[in-house]
C-alpha cells in the first residue's frame, strides 16, 4: 500500500517549511534539543502548522531506513488553496459559489468519497480544518479516483471563523444534522451556498453549528439513527445540484 509522502531530516524539513510547501503536519522526537529543531519549531509556528511530539520508535517506523534526525514532515500530495482562490474560481466560471465545508472528517475514505462527489456535482472547492482532520493523503487520492486533480481544497485554522467570512461574502451556509429545522428537500438551496458536513460520529461542533444560517436534516426511517458522512454529503450535494439546474 502506498504511504503518505514525507520529508525526513532537519535541514530538508526546515527548507520545506521556509519554501511554503504544503505540509500536513510535523512530527518531532520528544525531548530533542537542537538549534535547527528550534528553527523548525519557530517557522512551523509562524505558518500555523501542526506539530506533534512522538517517541523515537514512532519516527523510526515512519522513516524506516531513512535518517530522520529527530524530525519528519508529512507533505500533501497536492498544494492547498486559499478560500479566496475557491471564490475566485467560481467567479471566473461566472457561477454562484458552491462550497463544501468539512468539520473534522478524520477518515481518508470519507474525504476521498466526498471529494469525488463534489467534483461530480460541480462544487468549486472543499474547506477542511488544519487540526483533527485528514489531509490530502495517498488514501484520499485513491478513494477520490482522480477528483483530487480537479477539486480545490483549502485548509483553514478555524471553521467557525471561515463560515463567518463566507457569510460576509454573501454565501448562505447550510449545516447537515439529524436535529435539523427541516428536511433538505423542503429547503431552498439555490444561489451562493456552502454545505457543512460534521465529523464521523460527533457531527458538527457547537460553534460551527451555531454559525450556520440553517440546519437541514435527512429523513431516517430505520433503526440506525445516522448516515456515513460521505453518504450524507452525497445526498445533499446532489439535491443542491438539482436545485441549481
Q: What is the pLDDT of residue 150?
A: 86
pTM of model > 0.85: no
Class of domain 6-75 (CATH, top level): alpha beta
Listed residue (158, 136, 1) closest to 75, CA to CA = 136
Listed residue (73, 71, 64, 75) closest to 34, CA to CA = 71
The C-alpha cell that represents 229 in the structure block: 458522512
Q: What is the pLDDT of residue 152?
A: 93
Contacts of 196 (CB under 8 A, 6+ apart): 101, 102, 103, 159, 163, 173, 174, 175, 176, 204, 208, 212
d(CA 32, CA 78) in angstroms, rounded, equals: 30
- Going by their DSSP bridges, the two strands 6-8 and 71-75 should be labelled as antiparallel
d(CA 233, CA 112) in angstroms, rounded, equals: 12
d(CA 127, CA 156) in angstroms, rounded, equals: 7
Cα 39 from chain centroid?
A: 27
Is the backbone of residue 132 left (phi > 0), alpha (psi -120 to 50) or beta?
left
Q: What is the mean pLDDT of each run of 10 residues along the chain (245 residues)?
A: 70 87 90 93 93 93 86 83 96 96 91 94 95 79 81 93 96 92 92 92 88 92 80 95 92
Q: What is the pLDDT of residue 12?
A: 86
Going 79 to 80 to 85 to 91, the CA torsion angle's sign is positive
Topology alike, domains 6-75 and 83-244: no
Give the up-direction half-sphere exposure of residue 115: CA atoms within 13 A in the CB hemisphere.
29
Listed residue (150, 162, 154) closest to 208, CA to CA = 162
d(CA 96, CA 31) in angstroms, rounded, equals: 50
d(CA 138, CA 133) in angstroms, rounded, equals: 15
Q: How many CB atoms lie within 10 A of CB 34?
A: 14
Q: What is the pLDDT of residue 2?
A: 41
Per the CB < 8 A criterion, the answer to whether 128 and 153 are in contact is yes
CATH number belonging to the domain at 83-244, selected among 3.30.565.10, 3.40.50.10860, 3.40.1280.10, 3.30.43.10: 3.40.1280.10
Domain borders along the chain are 6-75, 83-244
Listed residue (20, 208, 217, 31) closest to 103, CA to CA = 208
Cα 6 from chain centroid?
A: 19
Amino acid at each position: 500500500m502506498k504511504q503518505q509522502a514525507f520529508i525526513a531530516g532537519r535541514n530538508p524539513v526546515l527548507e520545506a517549511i521556509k519554501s511554503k510547501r504544503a505540509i500536513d503536519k510535523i512530527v518531532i522526537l520528544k525531548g530533542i534539543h537542537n538549534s535547527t529543531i528550534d528553527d523548525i519549531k519557530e517557522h512551523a509556528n509562524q505558518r500555523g502548522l501542526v506539530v506533534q511530539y512522538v517517541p523515537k520508535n514512532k519516527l523510526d517506523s515512519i522513516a524506516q531506513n531513512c535518517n530522520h534526525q529527530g524530525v519528519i514532515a508529512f507533505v500533501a500530495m497536492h498544494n492547498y488553496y486559499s478560500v479566496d482562490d475557491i471564490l475566485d474560481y467560481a467567479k471566473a466560471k461566472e457561477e454562484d459559489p458552491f462550497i463544501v465545508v468539512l468539520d473534522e472528517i478524520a477518515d481518508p475514505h470519507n474525504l476521498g468519497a466526498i471529494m469525488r462527489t463534489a467534483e461530480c456535482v460541480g462544487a468549486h472547492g472543499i474547506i477542511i480544518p488544519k487540526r483533527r482532520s485528514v489531509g490530502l493523503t495517498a488514501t484520499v487520492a485513491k478513494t477520490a479516483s482522480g477528483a483530487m486533480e480537479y477539486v480545490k481544497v483549502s485548509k483553514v485554522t478555524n471553521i467557525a471563523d471561515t463560515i463567518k467570512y463566507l457569510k460576509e461574502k454573501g454565501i448562505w451556509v447550510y449545516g447537515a444534522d439529524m436535529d435539523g429545522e427541516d428536511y433538505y428537500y423542503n429547503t431552498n438551496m439555490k444561489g451562493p451556498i456552502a454545505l457543512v458536513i460534521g465529523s464521523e460520529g460527533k457531527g458538527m461542533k457547537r460553534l460551527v453549528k451555531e454559525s450556520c444560517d440553517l440546519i437541514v436534516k435527512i429523513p431516517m426511517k430505520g433503526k440506525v439513527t445516522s448516515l456515513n458522512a460521505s453518504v450524507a454529503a452525497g445526498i445533499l450535494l446532489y439535491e443542491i445540484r438539482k436545485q441549481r439546474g
